[in-house]
A and B are shown apart, each in its own frame.
Chain A
């Protein structure tokens, strides 16, 4: 039944709003395997609200969210969590256990709750830790890690979750340059060869052009702009988005933008 429908995570006529303010009206978007979407916009433009709606954890989304042709709201929470993984921008609570315990919790959608973790759950968690360069930290307490290391542990957790759709809210926050590149390359490979789809909130005018196939600009006028990265990520579009002047720099492997200060 599922195989006949196209493998897509889509929203139709979605209105994003926070109390007393509409951020974006009539947003229609479809994210397909192999695609990497950059979600760009100013602070408070609705990027996080959009990812929460697409992940199915917004209380009452105003519009339809559809996964593989079926309404997301009709699916069981655990089934949904096997398909869609959301990296939260901010985590509310402190975790008292080890880094490995933390990453293992990403396996909950796949695990049976009585029997504890199986060996394939542990293998997935250890693989995810290795991918985030954290294998040596597995037995350390999560709270003893630095901010960037903790961010890598959180990315490892969503990797261990192994969803088909990755929704990443500011995945690069706190990361040093080499781990920014490592993270972006990892998700690009997951999209290109692993058949996964990625949508990530970025705040950089450099990475989207390098690593993303598509871009969504959430603009202050409430009119979103979505499309292939090459068409959307132009100097006029980005200048209008951020309201500041940009200079286009040709880096040989594509151009990118630096702010004029």
Chain B
């Protein structure tokens, strides 16, 4: 039990409970179901993408293009709706756009062998550029009511579609990472790609699948974003990638790959959402909130390092 609490997830749980208690003491209405749902809704697209980013980073890769794919998908959706397309077929095209973007990333990373940091950095500029080409400097709205209803209102009771999708993906990707052979391969490749290759694991195939999955889920998140906000612009979802990566890393996923759990990322998501909400209740501006989360991110790696050093020194003496 004590060892459990000393683990990364244990630490996150303590921090989470602390923020929860703090928030609840500041504002009694904080713990209502509706407020908790609102809390999730405000960043729902980011946290959905953070789930698949977890797999990518455990695999020792990174996908910086997710926010641009989200923006592009949202823009294509709005563009097609304004051309008079039906919502369903427009959504399918958007997922197709995500698939295409994923295949491009996957080919360049897994086949050509360019570092994913470089590939997705360039494609981040590229995909965002295509979104800008489509909408220019306008904003597109006028969605049918059923689309915005789906994005904003509860589907089952008070739970909106996006939240249901988040929990479904949390379970699915959690099982995929921790309970399947594919998940083991993701971890082994993340630990040492060379060893994985010599053990007969299809390193390229695994990486390709992950990048396609990442872009398709990002496209889905883009659709949810468009439906929730009811209008999109060329800069929709701009800069989301940094928030998403912060969520994953704070969850204890190693940036060098091979280590990390879906539970940790889920707890880190809860902490970030509650912390931001709590700070907003205390009238702290968004920029400072981001600064606090930045501090938390650095501290989350620095503090364990220092503790280890001290322990090591004591052991030597």
Chain A bound to chain B? no
Give the interface of A toward B (CB within 8 A): none
Give the interface of B toward A (CB within 8 A): none
